[in-house]
Amino acid sequence: MPRPPSPAALRVPVRALVERTLVRRLRREVARRPVPRHVGIIMDGNRRWARSLGVTDARFGHRAGADHLDDVLGWCADTGVRAASVYVLSADNLAKRAGDEVAFLLELLRTTIPDRVSRPGGLWALEVSGAPDLLPDDVTRALKDAADATRGRPLRLTLAVGYDPYREIVEAIRCVLDDAADHGLGALAAAELVSADAIDEHIASPRNDIDLVIRTSGEQRLSGFFPWRSANADLEFCDVYWPAFRELDLLRALRTWGRRHGA
């Protein structure tokens, strides 16, 4: 007679079965409620995820995180989310992180992410928000080529790359004042034109307000994530590291948002 499997051997299949059951139930529940049109994602915890597996090389975590974006965008599309804005690399990251780590992140931005986004049959049109002058020319060119290749797709993906929240708002105000100067207005008259609506028109991207911001890894801060567009967003802080973020976690966040905003 064959020996029965040990409790430890049964634990993983049982857990996977329970998770699949929960996902199916959550999909039905989310489908009955309002869904945020625009979701912001702060992908945090790649390095800590790698260390939790006993891997000290941060590149392992960053590679897994870049690969995982594909899965999460697919789940977002399945639920009816129309736009996603994702924090990839801030101007502060470029200045403060170790050189070899930044070099690897830039290589992912030059190769892996553009390749994944621009594959034939994809749904997401790519936009990039940030400061191109902070990036190597080949990275900027690869991202621009991917944006050109995906133009006209039904869903919109904005990547924050070399992004500085202060610079974004300052540049928008400067644009308002430049417009006033082009029309021959003096300083006092130009100042009268600086309004929330006028600034809003010059915020480069994303083009619409974010409804829900999700941050992984358990950190409860926004870290300068699109402050103009996130001003009225709901916030969900998820304890799992980004590469371990599951469809179950996304659906729970969407369910919470739907309960708040449902009729």
Catalytic residue annotation: 44, 93
Q: Which residues of 224-250 are buried (b: 16+ CB within 10 A; e: fewer)?
A: bbbebbbeebbebbbeebbbbbbbbbb
Rama region for 235: left / alpha / beta (φ>0; ψ in -120 to 50; rest): beta
Give pairs for 13-20: CB < 8 Å, separation 24+. 19/246, 19/248
Q: For 6, which DSSP code?
A: P
Taking CA atoms, 199 is separated from 34, 183, 196, 202, in Å, by 29, 17, 5, 5
Strands (E), the chain: 38-42, 83-90, 124-130, 155-163, 212-215, 234-237
Q: Which amino acid is at 190?
A: A
